[in-house]
Amino acid sequence: MADARKLTKAERCSLFLLDKEQNELVAKVFDGHLAEDGSEAMTEVRIPADQGIAGHVATSGELLNITDAYAHPLFYRKMDETTGFRTRNILCFPIKDDSGVIGVAELCNKINGKCFTFFDEEMAKAFSIYCGISIMHSLMWKKVRDAQHRSKLSNELMMYHMLVSSEDVKQLVNSEVPPLTSFSPDFAKFSYTPRVIPDKTTLVVVIAMFEDLGFTSRFKIPRDSLAKFVLMVKKGYRDPPYHNWMHAFAVAHFCYLLLKNLSLIGPYLTELEGLSLFVACLCHDLDHRGTNNSFQLTSKSILASLYSSEGSVMERHHFAQAMAILNTDGCNIFENLSRQEYTDCLDQMRDIILATDLAHHFRIVQELKLMVAEGYNYDNPKHHNLLTSMLVTCCDLSDQTKDWKSSKKIAELIYNEFFSQGDLEKAMGVKPSEMMDREKAYIPELQIHFIQTIVKPIFE
């Protein structure tokens, strides 16, 4: 693409690949400048596949030569707003393979000319053929490479995790499930801290929450499947200081509180969305390694190789682990859902788990404010998605709402995990951020800032 920019004397060129699953065009934008390592600088941008000039070309399969971008009705200004680039003119053409359009290339701002010429159009058409072949081979290679990485990751996971024993499953199946108030009279109150419950007892408590919310009866969840699923999920968590099973349990408990006390199911969410939200809370940090998305990218981990092109590396891995557990023999708690319910439930779980990435929360803050201002519309699917995203973020941050003794202890666990990552980054020759650096972090100040700028606004 850099060569195409030079041949046509354009300021910038972009290669959009069609993501059919998300109905988006994913652009690698080459801005004409060099990165520090001498390579062409790139920025990833995602836009809806049915919007803008690129969307029209992807849909129609026809080349467009636009002399005045801002005067054109199809011009998608948000791209310029996102990148800070000012577009004057555009030459946009489709890239195809045997199955049809697989991408779109866009050349912007003809240098020393008012617009792109007929010669540029012919050059673009010829170039698109070679580009299509290259992309096809690149995608094939990525599939092979991803399969290799998944195989390596699977072996790693098998080395670390063991399947739960049939004796453990049988014992949990036969365990008495007492009323939740037997664990504490305050169990269903927002002031209650679930971390006081002993680790072994948490399994029975989770089953009790499933039953008390009516999920086991409404969705015909077999007791043995639920028992094995809960055991597998607990086993699927590693033991970093904070992002472990007790964190997942606390998040699921807060989800229980929301569903139980706020009467969300009916006026705001469907029963299936309630189930998806609760299960997603249990699974949202599966196989967390105590390091964040930034670390995965910096360290060039296997997870980054698998998921970096899609973003939210760890969250995509957490969902993949949840799917692996559900697909394990005897663990599919959704086995009695209809085909459509099953598909919807997994889609909802994926979106909810991805929403636990705070980067996702920052992207939708303005949409959340708009939804609050306009009022929640039950018939608007977008509002359902925004609401579940907001709810899971509240659940994920719920430790910050507990009493001083508990929240102080949680802060210690969080920063122990952060500092461990910072130590790893220093060993790699990478400068950690302030909150990851045990020599620079001032925890009270960092926590107050976190609560004031993120926690308090989302709960408000």
| Average predicted confidence (pLDDT) for the chain | 89
Letter string b/e over residues 430-443, b meaning 16 or more CB atoms within 10 A of that residue's CB: eebeebbbeeebee
Do 265 and 274 form a contact (C-beta atoms < 8 A)?
A: yes
Active site residue 33: no
What's the pLDDT tens digit per position in 68-104? 999 999 887 876 777 778 889 999 999 888 888 888 9
Is residue 437 scored above 70 in pLDDT? yes
Stated as kind and residue range, the H or E segment containing 19 is strand 10-19
Sign of the Cα pseudo-torsion (236, 238, 244, 246, in order): positive
Give the C-alpha separation, 392 to 260, whole Å.
Answer: 15
Q: Is residue 246 a known part of a binding site?
A: yes
Mean pLDDT to the nearest integer, 149-168: 69
Of 43-57, 139-153, 295-309, the one with minimum mean pLDDT is 139-153
Give the C-alpha separation, 11 to 88, whole Å.
Answer: 10
In the set 72, 149, 243, 361, the catalytic residue is 243
User: What strands lie across the sheet with 64-66, from one edge to the other?
Assistant: 40-48, 24-34, 10-19, 100-110, 90-97, 64-66
Q: Where are the domains of the chain?
A: 2-144, 161-459
Q: Which residues pair with 19 in a beta bridge?
A: 24
pLDDT of residue 328: 86
pLDDT of residue 162: 57
CATH topology of domain 2-144: Beta-Lactamase (3.30.450)
pLDDT of residue 159: 42
Is residue 229 scored above 60 in pLDDT? yes
Q: Is residue 209 a known part of a binding site?
A: no
Q: Is residue 360 a known part of a binding site?
A: no
For the chain, give the percent of residues with pLDDT over 70: 92
HSE-CB of 278 using CA atoms within 13 angstroms: 28
Is residue 31 scored above 80 in pLDDT? no
**What architecture does CATH give domain 161-459?**
Orthogonal Bundle (1.10)
Q: How confident is the model at residue 427 (pLDDT cuts 50, 70, 90)?
A: very high
Mean pLDDT to the nearest integer, 198-223: 98
Q: How confident is the model at residue 1 (pLDDT cuts 50, 70, 90)?
A: low
pLDDT of residue 2: 66
DSSP annotation of 301: -
- Among 181, 189, 197, CA closest to 246: 197
pLDDT of residue 35: 47
Q: Please report the DSSP string for 362-380 in residue order.
A: HHHHHHHHHHHHH---TT-
Do 225 and 332 form a contact (C-beta atoms < 8 A)?
A: yes
Q: Please report the DSSP string for 67-117 in residue order.
A: S-GGGSTT--HHHHHHHT-----EEEEEEEETTEEEEEEEEEEETTSSS--
Give the C-alpha separation, 168 to 165, whole Å.
Answer: 5
Mean pLDDT to the nearest integer, 155-177: 80
Q: Is residue 284 a known part of a binding site?
A: yes
Type of residue numbered 377: N
Is residue 33 scored above 70 in pLDDT? no
Of 82-91, 234-243, 409-418, the one with minimum mean pLDDT is 82-91
Q: Which tokens go with 33?
A: 């400048």
Is residue 32 scored above 80 in pLDDT? no
Q: Is residue 285 a known part of a binding site?
A: yes
What's the pLDDT tens digit per position in 325-336? 998 889 999 999
Contacts of residue 193, Cβ cutoff 8 Å, sequence gap at least 6: 402, 403, 406
